[in-house]
Structure 1
């Protein structure tokens, strides 16, 4: 029942926020976000990793009970629910320094999206998964389209068309799978795992799932919506997109694609792996060339998700564990980096590296926290990024030595573009744009310090989270191999 509470709480809080006044809305949203986080932490403390799916709910929904409104949490679901509920109140707090027009709607949309994201990560019915998968798109679309930049309408329309188009492939595949189940049919994900499909059917379903999830992450060559959408969206929407929403695609690969179509994976897994590795290198090279800080982080996120996908397609314990721990690390790091870029932009009115410089001389606190998050992103040992990246590169190397060697270039390329970002903005003579730059406020520290704590927590004590996911990962791999 805790799972259902975690879905309904942000939904109810969003409705209350929507109906409240402008001054009250942000306070209600923040308190609600913290209450939801406390509920998720309570679920974590009660969770037994060896006991499988827990905190379940199940209600009849459609087709005389063959399609259920049902959900629950295993270890894989729980870590992503924790990520979602941890980041959401920080994203809400990060928006406090902005005076958004119609703020009750703005904060309500963030809470509605949190509800849909928790629904995605906990659904045990395939059609319910699809419902939440699409529902998560609606709030972020309006956040970007209403409060975004100058070109927001064109960019968000492209984003909406891309994601809806990809999801249609998944819907067709799910309908087909539903009618392949015996008897009265079932859309329970566990029932789809038990299907015995022909190799040809599995190949087609593989591509239907792959396209849907590759667009959402995104993977090469389905990524063209991402840089513009991240750049034009308001920073809280960019944080939601990069920190949490792209994880839906990686989660979909793990939860649906791998165990449902193992023969399809055997046929096409190498192609998917190659596309993932191309994305790592391509995204990194483009990131090096960027002068807009927000676009640089957007391309770095594209490169990171390519490595996560490569780990998933390695179909190994290290690959899946690495992808899961890297989803946590990436979500924490990228939300912190986008927030720091927003702080710099609000004080200087520019995001271009050639116009910045010398910030470390006027804002030492910002510089220190920026460096910690940056080092996590480049996978320095004892930071959160190192654990996932080590496991992922190990899994890709064992899958194919040459692909592992190419993917390993991400260590060098990532260091180049991230250290270039820090050097150009923080060091050198004080730019005219930086004159009068103020150090961090109390609310800004309240956002960044929890993220920094998590950088070291995951880096030093990764077993806190790896032990949660390990039994579920082993169980899932038995369905694939």
Structure 2
């Protein structure tokens, strides 16, 4: 296990360095990316296969050696039932993006540059979920910013420059505040070790210190989450990003923020989290309603709504459910948040692949161009490209939380957690938040079904024609790339114990239980 975890982190880093070799240019670089990410996925699967399912709350595959002795900072790695699904999800999505890039590499830069940045991004994402030292966590958290910035700025679409700048500006400012909180926590507690902090459970830290730590670290995590009102970088970044960038941004990077709340703040400063949990829940619910209303506006005929932008705003709403589950501070809600993280990664990753494919075919993701600005219009994807239309409808109903698919359990458990929040939290407040979140699910269904009607339905004969569009159905490379996400969305929906069995004991341990 220890060797596997080290290899999991080392492979993409070594692969990224290998792209500096001039001989590995052109298509060779793209194949290198596929080989490295494929091997990394195999290592992640082996890590999962070797994981001791009887003790998911215990850190496994641990490496713990001195890194900066003067500051008592250690190179500490490990995996438990909370981080294992995220590591596998990250390895899977990175491999699928590398595979997709073989056929759909966006214009704007060299193949070596693309592959090197993709592998460096993978290194930072994987390390974030594996490190167990606060400062090492910060380093991993920040590694992803530079490659994602260049993926958007060099290979993105319209307005990619301003979108990339806003992304890096927001996240760097949030990270600067987060670093202050991490330093305050580590220095006041006398250790930067996350497992030791979790075991101490806030003992020795005053109420004021804990609140300051939650505010400082929470701001940095909220920007990445993205929590309203720190979300405004996200729609522009998603709209401008290339397809692979959007998939990884939604599928993994957003999870880094919510993971930090669970891994760092809940066990280390429980009193501070308890004090601020109602505010976190309120911001989460505002995000749910706001994101859904923004999507309804974009889906309205005549609004010139961009389909990629709509899916981006939907992430604000879906991640609101994750934050609401965390705010309940009870095992049901936090398990729901962790499940929703994985479900959102699978479903939204699939949706961004599909929207990217539609944009490649039509040359636009503008809903009015695709479907016409009249209510009775439709792009007739069912008739013109039935498999592509069916997959888009599948992704939409999975995203709205259809029972039996991955989007259902996380949001349901988050609301159930709000029905009985942790002891000491105001139950009437969380009941009101639960009702508002439930209303948000209705809004989610409304805009997603509107998208399906406008894009998938209609008469192929009378549907609006897009000049220069070449509409083909799902190609072989697309089917290979998307099928794992479809299958896992169904498996997670029908067999939720697969994930909940891993996370439940680990969550109880973080909350101070056995």
Superimposed CA distance per residue, residues 246-271 of structure 1 (whole angstroms, 9 cap, x where no aligned partner): 00000000011111221112221111
Provide the C-alpha distance between the structure 2 equivalents of 1:153 and 1:377, rounded to a whole number of angstroms. Answer: 30
Give the match for residue 464 of structure 1. Answer: 498
**Structure 1 counterpart SS, 2:358:** helix
Give the match for residue 282 of structure 1. Answer: 290
Query: Of 471, 489, 508, which aligns to 1:437?
Result: 471
**Contact 1:18 1:25 (C-alpha < 8 Å) held by counterparts:** no
Query: Of 174, 191, 211, which aligns to 2:196?
Result: 191
Quote the RMSD (CA, aligned, Å): 1.5
**Structure 1 counterpart SS, 2:129:** helix
Provide the C-alpha distance between the structure 1 equivalents of 2:182 and 2:470, rounded to a whole number of angstroms. Answer: 56
Give the match for residue 258 of structure 1. Answer: 266
Query: Of 3, 6, 25, which aligns to 1:4?
Result: 6
Give the match for residue 420 of structure 1. Answer: 450
Decide which moves more: 274-283 or 397-406.
397-406
Mapped pair 1:54 → 2:60: yes
**Contact 2:31 2:102 (C-alpha < 8 Å) held by counterparts:** no
| Runs of 4 or more above 3 Å deviation | none
Superimposed CA distance per residue, residues 116-158 of structure 1 (whole angstroms, 9 cap, x where no aligned partner): 1111101111110001001111111111111112322222112
Q: What is the CA-CA distance between 1:42 and the residue it aligns to?
A: 0.7
Q: How many pairs align?
A: 477
**Structure 1 counterpart SS, 2:401:** coil
Mapped pair 1:103 → 2:105: no
Q: What is the CA-CA distance between 1:97 and the residue it aligns to?
A: 2.6
> Structure 2-normalised TM-score?
0.90
Mapped pair 1:38 → 2:42: yes
**Contact 1:17 1:29 (C-alpha < 8 Å) held by counterparts:** no
**Structure 2 counterpart SS, 1:437:** coil
Give the match for residue 453 of structure 1. Answer: 487
> Structure 1-normalised TM-score?
0.96
Give the match for residue 298 of structure 1. Answer: 312
**Structure 1 counterpart SS, 2:17:** helix
Q: What is the CA-CA distance between 1:109 and the residue it aligns to?
A: 1.0
Provide the C-alpha distance between the structure 2 equivalents of 1:335 and 1:415, rounded to a whole number of angstroms. Answer: 19
Superimposed CA distance per residue, residues 70-106 of structure 1 (whole angstroms, 9 cap, x where no aligned partner): 1110110111101101111111122223344301111
Provide the C-alpha distance between the structure 2 equivalents of 1:423 and 1:94, rounded to a whole number of angstroms. Answer: 28
Query: Of 74, 79, 83, which aligns to 1:73?
Result: 79
**Structure 2 counterpart SS, 1:70:** strand
Q: What is the CA-CA distance between 1:342 and the residue it aligns to?
A: 0.9
Decide which moves more: 380-389 or 49-58.
49-58
Higher helix share: 1
Q: What is the CA-CA distance between 1:59 and the residue it aligns to?
A: 2.1
Provide the C-alpha distance between the structure 2 equivalents of 1:267 and 1:392, rounded to a whole number of angstroms. Answer: 19
Provide the C-alpha distance between the structure 2 equivalents of 1:245 and 1:49, rounded to a whole number of angstroms. Answer: 27
**Structure 2 counterpart SS, 1:418:** helix
Superimposed CA distance per residue, residues 148-179 of structure 1 (whole angstroms, 9 cap, x where no aligned partner): 12322222112111111111122112212222
Q: What is the CA-CA distance between 1:436 and the residue it aligns to?
A: 4.2
Give the match for residue 238 of structure 2. Answer: 230
**Contact 2:182 2:217 (C-alpha < 8 Å) held by counterparts:** no
Provide the C-alpha distance between the structure 2 equivalents of 1:334 and 1:35, rounded to a whole number of angstroms. Answer: 24
Superimposed CA distance per residue, residues 232-252 of structure 1 (whole angstroms, 9 cap, x where no aligned partner): 111111111111000000000
Give the match for residue 344 of structure 1. Answer: 358
Provide the C-alpha distance between the structure 2 equivalents of 1:172 and 1:33, rounded to a whole number of angstroms. Answer: 34
Provide the C-alpha distance between the structure 2 equivalents of 1:37 and 1:478, rounded to a whole number of angstroms. Answer: 33
Provide the C-alpha distance between the structure 1 equivalents of 2:182 and 2:484, rounded to a whole number of angstroms. Answer: 39
Gaps of 5+ in 1: none
Q: What is the CA-CA distance between 1:18 and the residue it aligns to?
A: 4.3
Gaps of 5+ in 2: 299-304, 371-378, 422-429
**Contact 1:49 1:74 (C-alpha < 8 Å) held by counterparts:** no
